[in-house]
A and B are shown apart, each in its own frame.
Chain A
Amino acid sequence: MTKTQPRTVHWWQFMLVGILLFMFILFAAGLGRDTKFIPSPLIGKPAFAFDIRKLGSDERIKLEDFKGKVVIMNYWASWCASCRDEHHVLLGGAKAYADNKNVQFLGINHKDTDEAADSFLERMGRFPYPSGVDAQGRLALEFGVYGMPETFFISKSGIVGAKHIGPLTAEILNAKIKQVEAMQ
């Protein structure tokens, strides 16, 4: 039984190598793609006309308040670790667009308490723009929020033009604002 058999290459060996190579290439290619891209049925549709309480006060924030402006609506929460990563991007972005009256940033504080949110902002730096409160996640349902953080770009005419899932980078932020600014 141990006598050496002639070393012939069998068909199954070729097949096995072929299948494995194919799968490795497939997975490697699959890793490169943008898994965060989830086609949203909301893109191109009018944004839900919300009316929510302003964080840390009793005032209301309505979508119609921002008519004629591009609205960057950013979902955040004090408990969300990735929100820390994008915090400086938002601060920088809001500063860069501070003079542009056609662009309005808006935070939406998601499933959080006013106290926790406030101490988060105290620590990380306060947004130079208001945040609305979505403590129950009702508004998140309307916008189909998939994970935290998530950012929606609403055009001047109130159409959802783009969205981004996950932490923003300055490049993404600028590119999407440009894209939605160009929309009619």
Chain B
Amino acid sequence: MSGSLIEIGLGATSLALILALCAMVCVCISLQRTAPAFLHTARHALILNFVLLTLGCFTIVWSFVVKDYSVLYVAQNSNSQLPLLYRLTALWGAHEGSLMLWLWFLAAFTAVAVLIHWKTHPLSMPYVMLTLAALQIGFMVFILFLSNPFVEIHPAMADGRDLNPLLQDPGLAFHPPTLYMGYVGFSIPFAFAIAALVRGQSGREWVVTTRRWTLFAWVTLTSGILLGGYWAYYELGWGGYWAWDPVENASLMPWLTGTAFLHSIMAQDQRNLFQTWNVFLIITTFALSLLGTFLVRSGVLTSVHSFAADPGRGAYILLFLIAVAVISYGLLIWRGHRLVGPAKISHMVSRESALLYNNMLFVAAAIIVLTGTLYPLAIEVLTGERVSVAAPYFNKVMAPLMLGIVLLMGLGPLIPWRKSSLKKLRDQFALPAGLAVLVAIVSTFLGANDLIAILAIGLVAFVFLATIMDIVRAVKAHMKSTDRSWSSSLVSLASNNQRRYGGFIVHMGVLVLIIGVVGSGFFREETTVTLKPEAQVQAGPYTLTFMSIGPSRGPNYSERLATVNWKHENGETGTLTPSKRTYPVTGTVTTEAAILSTFLGDLYVVLGNETTQGSVVTRVFWNPLVNWIWIGWMVVLLGVLFAMTKRAPKIIGSQATPKDATGSSEALAT
């Protein structure tokens, strides 16, 4: 009987709460009496918690699989008709399960961190464990007392309500967990930062140790955000991928500060700079991750994403957020000065100052997004009026900042640590800058007429050329000194500098992504027309001819299917079949956009309402280069994976001695 199974899940989760409390108490005792046995107990408790919470999650998933509608959460978020894949992913289909997944990630990362850093960081470990156990408790109390996914109902429902139809898509099924993984991933660097604060440890130890955690969290958060955009583009049928919705912004904010952090820890690693700042950044990143959860789950902001708004839960998450912020920022204010080392930025033209500018821009961007997201709330609280801050504000303010960041992406990695001279800069950058100006000018003849777009094109060209030329220079020097072929030189350079070359790959991926954003953002064509048979419409290089519309049937839906022929300027022809589907079981109507996806752009056709017999309102988009966004994403993934192959150097205990940078261009990515 599976009714008792879900009770096992509830029991396991309750036990996990008790164990986490035990772990906290044991850590405190071990610190008080320097009794390592207690620390061992705490360690076992935290590892066991992972097992218990895995069991907890499993019982929910299993209830979905066996269609046990005596479990309220299962009854509310699935249906006997729902395919197995979506019954498996329904765990995070709503509030309660999402938080359970959050907690599970936290428990998993805690267990891994405790296992792999146990030997190497004996002095930080108690505080790391204390922090992570406290976070677990915060989430478990919430789950068990306010948002319990294990609740049973008697008598059981005959059949469940359905999973939110929006979530019944493979693209979206994996968007939330990827995002959560990114959010939670920052908890480990956060815990190490708290440990460094408490210990007043000023070295580079904690940033070096958590570098791979940071990379992991960053790349999963990036992927989570992009997965959301990908799904929006292919499934929602409005032709775009980013709408500056409050909930999208909530995921972008920790990404912005996390990206700043990812860069600035290099300065601490190499030059022992920015210690307090780095702690501030990781606290902020983690707090913003929690804020993201708060905004989505409390219903404070009005958004298309707020499925389950519940002020009672919101109040708890807010209190939790306040506790985390007060304790961690409080520690920073109280003990932050102990982290400051003697090193100073010695020259305004240097890697470290480039990183400083990078950080200023990313943090400014985060502040802008935060302001724009909270402004409607502030106005409503103060005046009672409802306003919304829309895309134009964000686009206008963010674009110049992003251009600055792109420029730094080209300059920063190529400027040496400590000091460079303006003359050196001129030698290094004159040629790529000249070529970039040329590219920008050419682009104006090819139809670019927006200043931001022209600047973006020029800057992308500049960064690309400067980076390639730098790599070529390094390869040439290497060939000279070792007498190897250029390919083996490149391989040897890259495999000895995973961080730098991994970073280059990531930057190249970002460039590709930016090309996609600029192309689809500035050069997109959009028309809405009422099409009768034989009517023609122009979109980009394509001429579309509307042929007919008629009924059709699928396995579990009926649809109105239109036939649209296209002809490219170069003579190629083909057919697109956009449709409007009705799923009778749930009564949901979906629009299935027909997309002709090519390397140069997407032809995107969406059906609207049929007006009179045979004619239909149709929206036609030409989205140039939009696929480059997803290609860029893949390149970024590749680069991060490459950079992660570099292991953290072994630093035992607190003996971390700040190693001053010797090589000028050793580390690019963290």
Residues of A within 8 A of B (CB): 1-2, 4-5, 7, 13, 16-17, 20, 23-24, 26-33, 35-36, 38-39, 79-81, 111, 116, 119, 135-137
Q: A-facing mask of B322-338, CB < 8 A → 1, else 0?
A: 10011001001100011
Q: Is the CB of B314 within 8 A of A31?
A: yes
Quick check: which of B157-165, B185-193, B495-503 contacts chain A, the rest being far away? B157-165
- Which residues of chain B have C-beta atoms less than 8 A from A16's C-beta? 329, 332-333
A35 in complex: contacting residue of B202, B300, B315, B374, CB < 8 Å: B300
Partner of A20, one of B76, B301, B329: B329
Q: Which residues of B, 319-369, contact A by the 8 Å Cβ criterion?
A: 321-322, 325-326, 329, 332-333, 337-338, 340-342
17 sampled A-B residue pairs with Cβ under 8 A: A2-B338, A5-B338, A5-B340, A17-B329, A20-B325, A27-B377, A29-B381, A30-B380, A31-B298, A35-B299, A35-B306, A35-B309, A79-B157, A111-B586, A116-B158, A136-B584, A136-B587
CB-CB under 8 A for A26 and B161, given A81-B76, A137-B587? no
The residue in chain B whose Cβ has the minimal distance to the Cβ of A77 is B161
| A20→B284 CA distance, assembly (Å) | 11
Is the CB–CB distance between B161 and A79 below 8 Å? yes
Interface size class of B (residues with CB under 8 A): 35 or more
- 8 closest pairs, A vs B, by CB? A79-B161, A30-B300, A136-B587, A29-B381, A35-B299, A137-B587, A13-B333, A31-B314
Interface presence of B378 (CB below 8 A): yes
| Contact across chains for B377 and A30 when beta carbons are under 8 A apart | yes
B311, A35: Cβ atoms closer than 8 Å: yes
**Are B318 and A27 interface neighbours, CB within 8 A?**
yes
Q: Quick check: A31 and B311 within 8 Å, CB to CB?
A: yes
**What's the nearest-Cβ distance from chain A to residue B374, in Å?**
7
- What 14 new A-B contacts, CB under 8 Å, besides A1-B341, A13-B333, A111-B587? A7-B337, A16-B332, A20-B326, A23-B374, A24-B322, A35-B306, A35-B309, A38-B302, A39-B386, A80-B161, A116-B158, A116-B159, A119-B158, A136-B587
Most A Cβ at <10 Å: residue of B75, B161, B584: B161
CA distance A31 to B316 in the complex (A): 11
A140 to chain B, nearest CB (A): 9
Whether B300 and A31, one on each chain, are in contact in the complex, defined by CB atoms closer than 8 angstroms, is yes
Which B residues are in CB contact (< 8 Å) with A23? 374
Q: Given the complex of chains A and B, what is the CA–CA distance between A152 and B321 in angstroms?
A: 37
Question: In the bound complex, how far is the Cα of B381 from the Cα of A119, in angstroms?
Answer: 44
Contact of B381 among A5, A13, A30, A36 (CB under 8 A): A30
Minimum CB–CB distance from B170 to chain A (whole Å) comes to 24
Question: Closest approach, in angstroms, between the C-beta of B215 and any C-beta of chain A?
Answer: 27
Q: B83 at the A/B interface (Cβ < 8 Å)?
A: no
**B72 CB within 8 Å of chain A:** yes
Structural contact, B378 and A26, CB atoms closer than 8 A:
yes
Q: Which residues of B contact A17 (CB under 8 A)?
A: 329, 333
